[in-house]
Amino acid sequence: MAKKQLRIGMVGYGFMGRTHSNAFLQAPKFFDLPYEPALSAVCARNKGRVEAFAANWGYGAVETDWRALVERDDIDLIDIAAPNDMHHDIAIAAAEAGKMVMCEKPLGRTAEESAGMVAAVEKAGVPNMVWYNYRRIPAVSLAKALIDDGQLGRIFHYRAKFLQDWTISADLPQGGEGLWRLDVDVAGSGVTGDLLAHCIDTAMWLNGGIEKVSAMTETFIKEREHTLTGKTQPVGIDDACAFLARFDNGSLATFESTRYARGHKALYTLEINGEHASIFWDLHDLHRLDYFDHRDEGTTRGWRSIHVTDGDHPYMGNWWVPGLAIGYDESFVHQAADFIRGLDGDAAAPTFADAHRTDKVTDAVLKSARTGQWEAAS
Ligand code: SOE
């Protein structure tokens, strides 16, 4: 018997529109899902381009106004892959229309904004999720399993950084496609909401809540031309941010992100030091988890690099054969699969409520950078 369809209405056709579309296409091919995802309609303002996108990915219909998409009665799930300033209104309208909602990160530009989104999905009782995809890189999921199993023991330190170098040129404008990330009104913040939000989501998933933070930020290029107005305007985003944090479990943390680390394209690394063992993970070598266990005996004790590609590693039993790696795009496939599997069981995380907690931490980071004080993060 044919499975019941999960009819998806996608908003946005940029980088994330592609990762999400690919995820919904691949998920049922590799995972046994209770519903068959169907790319029913896609929405973006530019008609010609959205039609080309729909033809490429196999969407059945196009819309140029997200309100029309939300109102369609042949859509079960609205997936928001549009710039950050659109998340709030679309998510709330979708929830009020009784649709399930998935949303790109960060959930809101501020925690105040995401609080309203959480209230809307909870009032409507609709399944919801935010695309913090790095949790579902198998090596990161393995780290979670090791921590939950108590292999690291008490955690002393958490260290994360996310480094890029694509905004160093002062000639780069703010605003418009892709570059909306440099426009504070659209993005909400710079690296804090765009990159550190990933690090914070993973960190709280692995190591629990963050109690307080002390941060500094910098905007290296103070003015940039705005593509929409053609005028040179002040830059309101943070180009770089570093902060200290204390977790609820007493562990200490450092977080750093910048778009000015020449040579680094998307270097997300995390290290956790526990009483028995340490782990280290690096997005540029994403299928490996480095692990040191002090309980190993003898002179061969040392860091081992686990190639997370075996059949008993998280998600890997559903892919090729042991030893063959998967990559970045599959983290989205895993997320789509987990969301759909969660519809008939325990809801998959991170939910809007989880992502709202991340927004509270990023708010506290930005506040601390302004006040020069430690700020409460929950
Ligand atoms: C920014 O360059 C960006 O694309 C983020 O927006 C993504 O969330 C991150 O995963 C990669 O970098």
277-296 pLDDT tens trace:
999 999 999 999 999 999 99
Q: How far is the CA of 198 from the centre of ligand 1 (A)?
A: 9
pTM for the whole thing?
0.98
Q: Which atom of ligand 1 is nearest to the CA of 133?
A: 10
Its sign, for the CA torsion 194, 196, 202, 207, is: negative
Phi, psi (rounded to 5 degrees) for 146: -65, -40
How big is the chain by its Cα radius of gyration, in Å? Answer: 21
DSSP type of residue 10:
E
Q: Which domains does the chain have, with CATH numbers?
A: 5-133 (3.40.50.720), 136-376 (3.30.360.10)
Q: How far is the CA of 133 from the centre of ligand 1 (A)?
A: 11
Q: Is the pLDDT of residue 378 over 80?
A: yes
Residue 104 in contact with ligand 1 by CB distance below 6 A = no
> Residue 184: pLDDT band by 50, 70, 90 thresholds?
very high
What is the percent of the chain where pLDDT is above 90? 98
Q: How far is the CA of 287 from the centre of ligand 1 (A)?
A: 19
> Residue 177: pLDDT band by 50, 70, 90 thresholds?
confident
SS3 174: strand
Residue 194 in contact with ligand 1 by CB distance below 6 A = yes
Helix (H) or strand (E) holding 273: strand 267-274
- Counting every residue written for the chain, the total comes to 378
Q: If you average pLDDT over every residue of the chain, what do you get?
A: 98
Ligand 1 pocket test, pick from 195, 201, 284 with the greatest ligand atom count within 8 Å of Cβ, gives: 195
296-322 pLDDT tens trace:
999 999 999 999 999 999 999 999 999
Q: Whose CA is nearest to atom 6 of ligand 1?
A: 194
200-256 pLDDT tens trace:
999 999 999 999 999 999 999 999 999 999 999 999 999 999 999 999 999 999 999
Q: Is the pLDDT of residue 1 over 80?
A: no
Q: How far is the CA of 111 from the centre of ligand 1 (A)?
A: 20
Q: How far is the CA of 53 from the centre of ligand 1 (A)?
A: 21
